[in-house]
Structure 1
Amino acid sequence: MGDVAMTVPVLIALTRTYPNLEITVVSRPFFAPFFEPLERVHFFGADVKGRYKGAVGLYKLYKDLQPGRFTAIADLHNVIRSNVLRSFFRLRGSESAQIDKGRAEKKALTREIDKDFRALKSTHARYAEVFKKLGYPVQLTGNEFLPKQPITDSIREHIGHEPYKWLGVAPFAAHAGKHYPLELIDVVLSQLNRESYKIILFGGGEEETQKLQSFADKYPNCVSVAGTFSFAEELALISHLDAMLAMDSGNGHLAALFGIPVVTIWGMTHPYLGFTPYGQPPENQLLADREQFPAIPTSVYGNKVPAGYEKAMYSIKPQQVVDCIKTVLA
């Protein structure tokens, strides 16, 4: 989800720079709400587990896209599916360009021995490079944000009507190496609950929903929206936050789409890999102590936790998190 969300600022820059350009985004149907506010950006939902499954399915996708309509193909994914789909367009003579994910650089940054510890190009810049190859260079200025989305009365009733600032908290990520321990999240929430903040908890799945609800039951200023609203409604709610606390995960990128300040907690990953939420300053990035844990970043996705690194997240103290959030919300 984060990778898809990070395309949005680049597409905003692209449509602002080239007012006659029409763009079709092909992605999973779930991601359609990202692109609905964008002018001259159309969305084609590709169910790659149904009609468009496998090589035959991808050929159906190619035909359903009506390939003659396109003058250029931008592959922002560079995986097997996008390579196959792009090959169909190339066979008909369509111009195309593909993202360079910098896999060798990232491998050098994440290896434990002889680590090449330096900041790599951001994913946003890598996306922009693809369009430059196609003859559409863009400049990212840091103000490519979506407008706030209207929220429903049911959302407002669920959140409450107190005159509080709205703080989103998304404590989960796809891999354990990116989770801030829940016992430390508990300490953070206990302190933030004393402030005039409405703390809105985000997550998904049965287990996450239960854990978030337990926090909401424990702290009067907390409310969980896990499993309550549609993705489009959640996105609209996020657009009205005053700040978001997230892991190196999708929710941080969602908030950044709207220019919301995002405080990000990093464990086995690191901002140097290029996945910092768009427009967020270094002081909003809270990092595990590399003097104690020099192998960080251990992987691109946070799925590798070396022996002895299980407690790396504990080097980020709850008070650091609370102080950073208070500074942002002030």
Structure 2
Amino acid sequence: MRILVQRFSALGDIMILLPILQQLKAEHPEHEIALLSRPYIGRLCQDLGLQFYGAQLQKEHKGVLGLKRLVKEVNRDFKPDLLIDAHSVLRTKIISKFFALKGVPTESLHKDRQARKAFLESTNPAQAALAPISQLHLDCFARQNISISFNRDSIKAAPYQLSAEHLQWWEESKAEINIGIAPGARHKSKEWPREKFIALLKDLGRPNRKFFLFGGPDEVEGLRELAKAAEVSFEIVAGKFKLDQEIALMKHLDVFVSHDSSNMHMAAWSGCPVVSIWGGTHPGAGFAPYANEDHMVSLDPGTLDCQPCSIFGTSTCKRGDFACMQDLAVSKVAEKVNSLI
């Protein structure tokens, strides 16, 4: 069977999906599997044994006619027997409709928006926790009679390995203990203050420890200033490595510290222990890092009646002070990190 899976959302969401496709390919080698997503994801698919189709959503595949053209191109080349819509938004629903008109069976992610609303309104988010997004993906395949054994104990680490050049860089750069840090986040409600990260690095700093700072190319100078302010030994990873090489590097680290972000999911998939910092979002919304649920840090339950305030994060705070992050003690994060070293 030729199975086409589509998802175009943020990198963190893709990082949740890829380990499932990795497991699917391992358990069902008889199936041909292709991913339809944004072009930059393509370099991650080859080592997983997946075919890849990159959609130019702002160019030739823009708009309804562009999506129709995309479907025609993919159908001509891959000829899918089944389409899995792992995103279930307007764009992917249009794509699914076009494939259905060509006689291709489709299955889509079931999002329970009412349950998400109830979760945010709950006074006990842990008790009102939603099904993990990974389970929703598995349910998609199960409805098409495709079983995947995917749980905490069966998750395979990402297959990527450092290139010879990057491996040499690592051997020359590493210390006795190596800690990954990703202080950036897309939304302010998910971002621990910069001064907290500086204090954390100062607290964790030792002569035998080195910090590897991750982020986007536009964060390089900010990361450098942060590490210099903390007066610790460091290397800037941001802007130097492609996605597969970043994940490969994470495999070599002793622990990784991140917000609820794509870096959190990348590090978890690499197999590196991940300490994740949570503020305006909550792992009970279904986006906890794989196999690292015991290492999540946030304010104690019940401290704020407005936490969580959103499923995906927001740039505003109804209190006006982002207390969920401002009040999270450095010592609490440092204690968790030190427990894993």
Same fold, judged at TM 0.5 (above): yes
For residues 114-160 of structure 1, the C-alpha deviation after alignment (integer angstroms, 9 at most, x for no partner) is 98951111011111111111220212132322234123435643784
Distance 1:188 1:130, change over 3 A: same
* Alpha-carbon spacing, 1:115–1:258, altered in 2? closer, same or farther (3 Å): closer
Displacement of 1:166: 2.2
Q: Determine if the alignment matches structure 1 residue 278 to structure 2 residue 290.
A: yes
Structure 1 residue aligned with 2:65: 56
Among 158, 164, 188, which residue is 1:146 paired with? 158
Question: Are 2:109 and 1:99 aligned?
Answer: yes
Letter in 1 for 2:69: K
Q: Distance in 1 between matches of 2:336 and 2:107?
A: 40
Amino acid at match of 2:51: H
1:92 offset after TM fit, Å? 1.7
1:10 to 2:20 alignment: yes
Moved more, 29-38 or 15-24: 29-38
Q: Which residue of 1 aligns with 2:6?
A: none
**Could you tell me how far apart the structure 1 residues matched to 2:163 and 2:285 are?**
34
1:191 corresponds to which of 197, 203, 221? 203
Q: CA deviation at 1:195?
A: 5.3
Cα shift at 1:297: 1.0
The list of structure 1 runs, each at least 4 consecutive aligned residues, that deviate by more than 6 angstroms after superposition, is 112-116
Match of 1:216, as an amino acid? Answer: A
**Do residues 263 (structure 1) and 266 (structure 2) align?**
no
Tell me how far 1:112 sits from its aligned partner: 7.3
| Residues 145 and 235 of structure 1, relative CA distance in 2, 3 Å threshold | closer
The separation in 1 between residues aligned to 2:329 and 2:124, in whole angstroms, is 29
Name the SS for the 1:65 alignment partner.
Answer: helix
TM-score normalised over the length of structure 2: 0.89
- 1:136 aligns to 2:146 (yes or no): yes
Change in Cα spacing, 1:139 to 1:195, as seen in structure 2 (3 Å) is: farther
CA RMSD in angstroms, aligned pairs only: 2.2
Selected match of 1:245 from 257, 272, 280: 257
Deviations 1:223-271 (A, max 9, x none): 2222233334323322322221110000011111122111100000001
Distance 1:101 1:95 in 2: 19
Q: Match of 1:182, as an amino acid?
A: R
Counterpart AA for 2:296: Q
What code does the residue aligned with 1:296 have?
A: Q
TM-score (norm 1): 0.91
User: Which sits farther off after the overlay, 315-324 or 114-123?
Assistant: 114-123
Q: Tell me which residue corresponds to 1:108.
A: 118
Aligned to 1:212: 223
Task: Work out the CA distance in 1 between the residues paired with 2:151 and 2:23.
Answer: 8
Per the TM alignment, residue 27 of structure 1 is displaced from its structure 2 partner at its CA by 0.4
Q: 1:268 to 1:229 in 2, by over 3 A?
A: same
CA contact (8 A) 1:293 1:309 kept: no
CA 1:36–1:257: 2 relative to 1, 3 Å: farther
For 1:327, give the aligned amino acid. S
CA-CA distance at 1:172 after TM superposition: 1.1
In structure 1, C-alpha distance between the alignment counterparts of 2:158 and 2:208, rounded to whole Å: 27
